[in-house]
Amino acid sequence: MDAFQIKGQILLSDMILALKQNSLTDMQSIPKSDLHSHGARGGRVSYIENWAGVKISLPPKVFASSDSVTALSTMDKWFKENIRPHCLGYRGHLKRWEATFAQAHSDTVALLSMSFRSVEIRKYFDRLDDFIKTITEMSKEFAANTIILPELTFAREDCDTDYEFVFLEEALSHGFFKSIDICGDEFAQPIKNFKKMFKYSKAKGLVLKAHVGEFGTADDVMEAVEELELHEVHHGNAVYKSPQIMNWLAKNKIQLNLCPASNIMLGIFEGYSSYPIKKIVEAGIPVTINTDDLLIFNLSLSEEYLNLFNANLLDEYELDKIRETGLSAIHRYNEKGLKGG
C-alpha cells in the first residue's frame, strides 16, 4: 500500500447509516479529514479542563457582528481570558498541540492538515529540528493512525514578508511542511504582498492555501486564487454571491475548506439555515468540512456533519461525498511528490 493511502477505510454505507440514525458514536468511528485546523486550537475544552483541573466557561453562541476586526478580536478576547491562562508557556503550548492530536484520534480524523504559525515556532524553539522532532514524536504518541500534513502559516496582520521569506526558506529546507497558508485579518494587507512567498513555496512543491472570502467578497477569493495560484481556499464562503466566480472555481477545481460553525459563531451567517454550502456544492465546487479552531468553537467534525444533516442543508449522500473529497485530498500531496504517512 502507498504510504499516503488512508488507514482504516470503511464501507460507504456506514457513514450514511450513521447520519440517518443520528449517531454521534458511529460518526466518530468513521475516517474523515480535517484540512483546516489551527494546530494550537484544535483540541477540546474538556481536554484542557482535565489537564489543568479547572472548569472553563463555554464560548457564547455568537462572538460579534460580521465585521471582521470586531468579530476576530472578540473571539481572541474570549480565548485569552478562558483558555490561555490555563496553558501558559512552553508546557501549556505543547499541551494544546497534544489536545489537537488527541482529538484527531478520538474522532477518527485520518487526514489532519495541522497549521503552525511561524511566530509560535520561533517563540518556543531555537532550532527547527527541535520543533519537527517534538511534533513528530507527539503525533506518533497521540494520533498514530492519523496522517499529519503540517501547514506553515503566516498571520497577515503582523507579517513582514521580507523577514518571513528568510524564515520560509529555512523552514522548507527541512522537507517537513506540506502546505503554506496566510491567516488572520484578510484586510490587513494586499494579497499580492505574498506572491514571492507563494511562488517559492510552489517551486518547493507545497500545496498553496490562504484564508480569504471569510469576511471578504467573492472577488477577493478570485484575486487570491489568481495572484497566489492557490490550490485550496480556507473558508471562501463568500463565493456563493457570484455565480460567475463559482463556475470558474468549479471548472478549475479550486477546493474550498469550509468551516460552518466558525462562520456562524463569528456572525457571518445567522445559523445553519442560512449557511450557503448547498449552493456552493451544487455549483460543482469541491468542498470539505473542517473545524478551524475547535478549542474555541467546541464542535468536532462528527458533530459538524450531524449539524449540517439535521439542518437539512445536505443529505447523507452529499455529506458522504464531501467526506470522500476530503480524504481524496491526499492525492494532491501524492501528485506533488511529497512523502509521509
- DSSP three-state, residue 58: coil
Length of the chain: 341
Residue 207: band (very low, low, confident or very high) from pLDDT cuts 50, 70, 90: very high
- Strand locations in 179-254 (E): 179-183, 207-212, 232-235
Give the DSSP per-residue string, 112-137: EEEEEEHHHHHHH-SSHHHHHHHHHH
Residue 243 has pLDDT above 70, yes or no: yes
Q: What would the pLDDT profile of 179-200 be if each residue is shown by its tens digit?
A: 999 999 999 999 999 999 999 9
C-alpha cell at 224: 487570491
Predicted local distance difference test score (pLDDT) of residue 69: 74
Place of cell 484564508: 211
Confidence at residue 66, expressed as pLDDT on a 0 to 100 scale: 54
All three cell numbers of 17: 447509516
Could you give the CA distance from residue 315 to residue 5 in angstroms, rounded to a whole number? 27
* pTM for this entry: 0.93
Contact assessment for residue 26 and residue 16, using Cβ atoms and an 8 Å cutoff: no
Mean of the per-residue pLDDT values for the chain? 93
Alpha-carbon gap, residue 270 to 85, rounded angstroms: 30
Q: Is the pLDDT of residue 98 over 80?
A: yes
The pLDDT of residue 70 is: 83
The tens digit of pLDDT for each residue in 118-137 reads: 999 999 999 999 999 999 99
Per-residue pLDDT averaged across 259-273, rounded?
94
For residue 4, give the C-alpha cell. 499516503
Superfamily assignment of 12-335 in CATH?
A: Metal-dependent hydrolases (3.20.20.140)
